């Protein structure tokens, strides 16, 4: 099929004595000013004005307007272009021309068009659609400008996360997705079968990554995480991605220093590399420019004081709800830490503060503008007897945690780490209302399609 199309295209070249077209992407179109190029893509939208067809062409890297003038192309080509439906696959050739009127500064004077596949009735029209409809068409939705930009930012954030740790001597140490028991002893896991045994989809790689830290010093895992919580809010997905570094020989303070350095790096990198995308999403850049360390550190006790000063009824020992998080968030113009929560409500593996045994050596990083918790982390209990006691207190199956207890038996050291939720981070960096737009195919309560 391709060869016959090329012949057709070559004929036009001959007839008009045009230069051969260079393969080009819209992203790099500036390099081709004055040159004749070929763009392989899709029709994003079109308008016409009698004797001119304006074709908005997208190729995945960007959108450019192709201008097709009636008297400059064969009449059949002009008519064909006029009838083309949104998202028809097309190969367009033409000359790149600088034009002030164009969004990207360049237009394409089209001299030929080859239709690879025609489309009619593309469901996502350039008008308003409801979220439910768009989510039903998620497989098409991210062809649209805004979703396209968000997916690019997500990709860059993930690359930045990986680069940060790879460049600093961390070993990628992936944790299993199928696990024999609950990592943190909580319920709400997706259950499945491992042949005849019960198995669960992981809700955190942390326990495994601890084993990695004691072997390699500094490791991280990056993968999907599953929570079978019946949560339906703008901050929750049933399946989400988390990057979880774990480091031997660090304390809580050092842990927080790594976190702020890491988050600053990720945000600043998106700021410098994704300007176009952030503009399409209409993100207020000034908010992100303030994301510089050091991030404020607030003890749980102080956070409770802040809430009380603001007239919020709050009992010491409770965990913060969404409303409380938002109020605290308004206090700062950058992410901040809340550390040393009451140990009662926290996971069994968290180390107690030796100076105040009722507190856990843990911290959350809360993103500004009401985006809530993006990181949870802390110091792990490294004493064998203490950890065994906690396992028993939480009535966890001792046998399943044998290997985890072993880590405290053979060369135990103070260690800690944290987990950053990718989708919440993307939502915050992009300034989105809901995390469902931050992942290609969101898994939500009541939605597993497409």
Partner RNA sequence: UGCGCUGUAGCUCAACGGUAGAGCAACCGGCUGUUAACCGGUAUGUUGUAGGUUCGAUUCCUACCAGCGCAGCCA
* In the complex, minimum distance from the CB of residue 372 to RNA, in angstroms, rounded to a whole number: 6
Do the Cβ atoms of 42 and 24 come closer than 8 Å?
no
The three-class DSSP label of residue 25 is: coil
Category of 50 on φ-ψ map: left (φ > 0), alpha (ψ -120 to 50) or beta = left
Task: Name residues contacting RNA, limited to 78-107 (CB under 7 A).
Answer: 83, 85-86, 99, 101-103, 107
Point out which span in 5-13, 285-293, 373-381, 393-401 binds RNA (CB under 7 A).
373-381
How many chain residues are in contact with RNA, going by CB under 7 A? 72
* In the complex, minimum distance from the CB of residue 95 to RNA, in angstroms, rounded to a whole number: 11
- With CA atoms as reference, report the closest residue to 443 among 425, 429, 423: 423
Strand 297-299 to strand 239-248: parallel, antiparallel, or no bridges (unpaired)?
Answer: unpaired
Q: Which CB atom, from 246 or from 423, has the smaller least distance to RNA?
A: 423
Point out which span in 20-28, 253-261, 389-397, 438-446 binds RNA (CB under 7 A).
438-446
Of 22, 69, 98, 178, the one binding RNA by CB under 7 A: 69
Point out which span in 142-150, 253-261, 273-281, 440-448 binds RNA (CB under 7 A).
440-448
* In the complex, minimum distance from the CB of residue 410 to RNA, in angstroms, rounded to a whole number: 27
Query: Alpha helices, DSSP H only, in 167-238?
Result: 206-216
Point out which span in 51-59, 157-165, 272-280, 298-306 binds RNA (CB under 7 A).
51-59
String of DSSP letters for 317-370: TPPP-HHHHHHHHTT-SS-EEEE--BGGGS-TTBPEETTEEEEESEEEEEETTT
Q: What is the distance of C-alpha 338 from the center of its chain? A: 23
Site for RNA contains 376 (CB under 7 A):
yes
- With CA atoms as reference, report the closest residue to 205 among 405, 413, 421, 360: 421
Per-residue binding string, RNA, 239-268, x by CB under 7 A, is -x-x--------------------------
Do the Cβ atoms of 95 and 36 come closer than 8 Å?
yes
Site for RNA contains 344 (CB under 7 A):
no
* In the complex, minimum distance from the CB of residue 216 to RNA, in angstroms, rounded to a whole number: 23
Per-residue binding string, RNA, 162-201, x by CB under 7 A, is ------------------------x-x-------------
Point out which span in 3-11, 154-162, 229-237, 330-338 binds RNA (CB under 7 A).
229-237
Task: Name residues contacting RNA, limited to 197-226 (CB under 7 A).
Answer: 204
Of 61, 89, 182, 229, the one binding RNA by CB under 7 A: 229
Site for RNA contains 369 (CB under 7 A):
no
Q: Rg of the chain's alpha carbons, rounded to an integer? A: 27
Question: Dihedral (C-alpha) 396, 399, 403, 406: value to the nearest 10 degrees?
Answer: 90
Express the helix, strand and coil content of the chain in percent, nearest 5 each: 35, 25, 35
Report angle CA 210, 211, 216 to the nearest 5 degrees.
95
Task: Name residues contacting RNA, limited to 125-154 (CB under 7 A).
Answer: 125-133, 135
Report how far residue 19's alpha carbon sits from residue 6's, in angstroms, rounded to the nearest whole number.
15
* In the complex, minimum distance from the CB of residue 137 to RNA, in angstroms, rounded to a whole number: 9
Task: Name residues contacting RNA, limited to 278-337 (CB under 7 A).
Answer: 319, 321-323, 325
Q: Which CB atom, from 283 or from 424, has the smaller least distance to RNA?
A: 424
């Amino acid at each position: 099929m391709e060869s016959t199309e090329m012949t057709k295209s070559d004929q036009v070249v001959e007839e008009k004595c045009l230069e051969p077209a260079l393969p080009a992407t819209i992203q790099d179109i500036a390099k081709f000013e004055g040159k004749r190029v070929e763009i392989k893509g899709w029709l994003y939208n079109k308008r016409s004005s009698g004797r001119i067809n304006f074709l908005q062409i997208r190729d995945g890297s960007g959108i450019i307007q192709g201008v097709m003038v009636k008297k400059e192309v064969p009449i059949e080509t002009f008519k064909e272009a006029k009838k083309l439906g949104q998202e028809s696959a097309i190969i367009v050739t033409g000359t790149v021309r600088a034009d002030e009127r164009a969004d990207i500064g360049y237009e394409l004077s089209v001299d030929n068009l080859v239709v690879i596949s025609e489309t009619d009735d593309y469901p996502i029209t350039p008008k308003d659609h409801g979220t439910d409809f768009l989510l039903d068409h998620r497989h098409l939705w991210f062809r649209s400008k805004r979703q396209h930009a968000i997916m690019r930012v997500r990709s860059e954030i993930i690359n930045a996360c990986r680069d940060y740790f790879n460049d600093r001597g961390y070993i990628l140490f992936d944790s299993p997705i199928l696990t024999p028991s609950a990592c943190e002893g909580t319920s709400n896991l997706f259950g499945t079968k491992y042949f005849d045994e019960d198995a669960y989809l992981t809700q955190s790689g942390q326990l495994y990554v601890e084993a990695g830290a004691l072997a390699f010093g500094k490791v991280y895992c990056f993968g999907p995480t599953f929570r079978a919580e019946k949560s339906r809010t703008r901050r929750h997905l049933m399946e989400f991605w988390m990057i979880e570094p774990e480091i031997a020989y660090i304390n809580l303070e050092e842990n927080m220093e790594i976190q702020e350095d890491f988050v600053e790096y990720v945000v600043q990198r998106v700021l410098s590399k994704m300007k176009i995308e952030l503009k399409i999403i209409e993100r207020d850049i000034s908010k992100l420019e303030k994301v510089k360390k050091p991030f404020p550190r607030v003890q749980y006790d102080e956070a409770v004081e802040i809430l009380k000063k603001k007239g919020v009824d709050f009992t010491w020992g409770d965990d913060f709800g969404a409303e409380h998080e938002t109020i605290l968030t308004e206090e700062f113009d950058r992410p901040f830490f809340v550390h040393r929560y009451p140990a009662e409500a926290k996971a069994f593996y968290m180390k107690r503060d030796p100076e105040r045994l009722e507190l856990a050596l843990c911290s959350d990083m809360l993103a500004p503008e009401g985006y809530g918790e993006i990181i949870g982390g802390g110091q792990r209990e490294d004493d064998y007897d203490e950890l065994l006691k906690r396992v028993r207190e939480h009535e966890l199956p001792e046998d399943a945690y044998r290997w985890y207890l072993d880590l405290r038996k053979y060369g135990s050291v103070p260690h800690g780490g944290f987990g950053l939720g990718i989708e919440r981070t993307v939502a915050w960096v992009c300034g989105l209302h809901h995390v469902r737009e931050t992942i290609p195919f969101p898994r939500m309560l009541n939605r597993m399609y497409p």
